Amino acid sequence: MNRSIRQLFPSLPMLCATLLLALPVPGAVAEERIEEEIIVTATFHGTSLMEEPRSVTVLGSESAANRAARHVEELLGLAPNVNWSSGASRSRFLQVRGIGDLEQYSEPKYYPSVGLTIDDLEVGSAANAATLFDAAQVEVLRGPQGTRFGASAHAGLVNIRTNEPTEELEGLVSAGVGNRGAYNLGGILSGPLTETLQGRVAIARNVGDGHFKNAALDRDDLAGFDELTARAKLRWQPNERSRYGLNLLIFDSDNGYDVWSLDNDRTTQSDEPGVDRQEVVGFTLTGDWQLTDRYSVRALASRSDADLLYSYDVDWIAPAFCVTFTCSYGHDTATESFDRSQDHTSFEVRLLGGGRLIGGGNSLDAGQWRQVAGFYFKATNEELRYAYPSAWYGDYAVATDYETDRAAAYGELEYALSDRLSFALGARVEAFEDDYRDSNGVAHDNSETLLNAEFRAKYRLQNGGLLYASVATSEKPGGVNVSASSQFALMSAAFQSFMGPKLRFTSERLINKELGYKTAALDGRLALRAAAFHTDRLDAQLESWMWDDAAGLWIGYLDSTSDGENYGVELETLLEVTPRLQVFANLAILRTKVDDLMTYDLDAAGFLSRSGRDQTKSPKHQYAAGLNATLSANLSASISVEGRGGSFYGYYHDGRLDGYDLISANVRWTTERFSLNVWARNLANAKYATHGLYFGVDPRDDFGFWSNRTYEQRGTPRSFGIDAQYAF
């Protein structure tokens, strides 16, 4: 499907402290104009950011342009209490407030704890497709969104909304180059097709060599990017009371995955470098009908098909490595590969009442009601072909098939007791079924009922500020530990005894309490948003690993035998110092723990309890700060710094990833039709990690015969380039 399309395109901490002192309070927002009303589209009604009673960050196209962000991973550092793991060519495993997924091997993850949608299409684990060309805004909703999205946004949601078709004919062409062989090309065409039909097409390709060098093969492009994104939109409005839409997404990436180094640097030694390929085709169909002055109906159907191939060199070295160095026991020759296909089909219909027109509204007047009632269904099938042809442990392969169905009914009722005070109550009941089977003869099936609910109140202060409070509960279904189930018969007796009760993991429930405040002050020049939250995780689904040395098996699994606790604060502020200068800053504080998790400790070579331990990928602080300046009528510039503290990245060891600080900057020259953007990320060339592994892999004698240690997947070093756009 994709090769023909591809052929269309050629192959400072001190700064942060200063900015924080310059503001009345610390906080976080994107670099968007304060006077512009920002609408959060991932809600039932489409709500103004300053009126929405949730902790939300909206990152607009200007934020993405300032960082030359091609993928959402290059933008999320601006959002407080949002973290991510690589474990692949892209950072596609998201955590919000310490809750989320870390990586993916055998386990299916069509319902990650943090949802990712692109124009109403649930992307799931195919999140390499979260590219930002022609994106209007990225919405980050923190905390359970169970009433609206169910298990698809258990701990939060990242919603990417691309630009809509226009009423007038317009277009854009763009091109850019950067260091390490990077270049990008793109084009957009938008406008009317008939008096009632409008369309938009956007196509972009992003290519680069990556930032790793393979010494064994003498190549520097084996961790590179080659990503093609094509989007199309149609909007048809035959009359004032109905509107229809079609969104089409085609994504094709042929990325390399050769990122693990024995010396924890950016030089690898593998002779069988891995890949991280994704091919995604998806579409959504929408229909909106205004039935009466008080009631409207919205229907949405979606379908996506994805082929995902992920592989890596298991021993990280080539045979010649053991000629140059003395290796303790030689080397393996395995390439572990995960070849999966996914298809998702969903349908949703909802009734909205309360006199709002198509497209929704904001605050209610005193005595007004607003209602939502809906039904949702989703069917998913994932087939995995796993292979581990090892010289040491034999040629192991397994085929798995995992099918799931979700059906949900939901509703929400909102009432304005006065012009200042309103309440909302929502609930969602979801029936979940799954069916697992594999080529080893293992089979499981399960069904359960999940409950999501939310109560929230908001109060408008006399000075225009907004106070809100909410209590929300969200439930994520249990499932099958695929790796453990398919390998159970091969495990040693002690590991069979430990894993027997854990072949399935149970559903996880979150109970989130939140207080928030939002205001625009100083004649609208200051925007402030603040939230404090506390989340109980009941039967928390925690990722862990075991090494069964006698059987030669790494066993990954989700463990739901412990509860957890997460709490913290998030502050967001944007100040317009003068009409030519904006300053923004953020601060996020997070505290987490697990109550009592029994796990296999790799260093102790035995089972022990992790009691009161911090949860993985939960840095205790995060920040971002910067300024945007208009230097002249055509010239602007920005500089920002973002960072976070260190964190654990696993429960089977005590390894940690260090915190880091990154500086970004750009200078942009703009005319009515043409723009030129000179940009840089990680200006100080900081060394930092986006993911980690802990085990023994180095065979050199002077490293202690495969002694366990932390290995880091290094983040992108200093990157810079220049982008040009011409609009017509």
Torsion angle, alpha carbons of 37, 41, 43, 46, to 10: 50
CA distance 315 to 216: 13
pLDDT score recorded for residue 366: 86
pLDDT score recorded for residue 524: 87
Token pair, residue 383, equals 């087939």
| 80-109 pLDDT tens trace | 999 988 888 888 889 999 999 888 887 776
Positive or negative torsion for Cα 111, 117, 123, 125: negative
> Residue 487's beta-bridge partner residues?
none
Calculate mean pLDDT across residues 373-386. Answer: 95
* H-run or E-run covering 4: helix 3-6
Calculate mean pLDDT across residues 281-307. Answer: 96
What is the SS3 assignment for 38?
A: coil
pLDDT score recorded for residue 35: 53
Question: E strands within 595-659?
Answer: 597-601, 606-610, 621-630, 635-644, 647-648, 656-657
Token pair 């609206």: residue: 148
| 365 pLDDT more than 90 | no
Composition of the chain by helix, strand, coil, percent to 5: 10, 55, 35
| 217-238 pLDDT tens trace | 999 999 999 999 999 999 999 9
Calculate mean pLDDT across residues 698-708. Answer: 74
CA neighbor of 602 nearest in space, from 646, 549, 557, 641: 549
| 534-544 pLDDT tens trace | 999 999 999 99
Transcribe 506-540 into DSSP letters. Answer: --EEEEEEEEEEEEEETTTTEEEEEEEEEEEEEEE
Q: Are 430 and 450 a contacting pair, CB within 8 Å?
A: yes
CA distance 158 to 165: 22
Token pair, residue 30, equals 């994107």
CA distance 173 to 388: 45
pTM of the model: 0.92
∠ CA 120-141-527 to the nearest 5 degrees?
120
| 17 pLDDT more than 70 | no
| 38-64 pLDDT tens trace | 999 999 988 899 999 999 999 999 999
pLDDT score recorded for residue 4: 37
Calculate mean pLDDT across residues 151-161. Answer: 95
3-class SS string, 535-574: EEEEEEEEEEEEEECCCCEEEEEEEEEEEEEEEEEEEEEE
Strand 335-353 relative to strand 295-313: parallel, antiparallel, unpaired? antiparallel
Calculate mean pLDDT across residues 130-159. Answer: 95
Mean pLDDT of the chain: 90
Calculate mean pLDDT across residues 374-379. Answer: 97
In the chain the domains, ranked by start, together with CATH numbers, are: 3-11+13-727 (2.40.170.20)
| 464-501 pLDDT tens trace | 899 999 999 999 999 888 889 888 999 999 999 999 99
CA distance 215 to 307: 30
Calculate mean pLDDT across residues 602-610. Answer: 92
| 240-249 pLDDT tens trace | 999 999 999 9
Contacts of 348 (CB under 8 A, 6+ apart): 299, 300, 301, 374, 375, 376, 377
Q: Are 669 and 696 a contacting pair, CB within 8 Å?
A: no
pLDDT score recorded for residue 91: 83
CA neighbor of 582 nearest in space, from 14, 19, 56, 37: 19
Calculate mean pLDDT across residues 667-682. Answer: 97
pLDDT score recorded for residue 5: 36
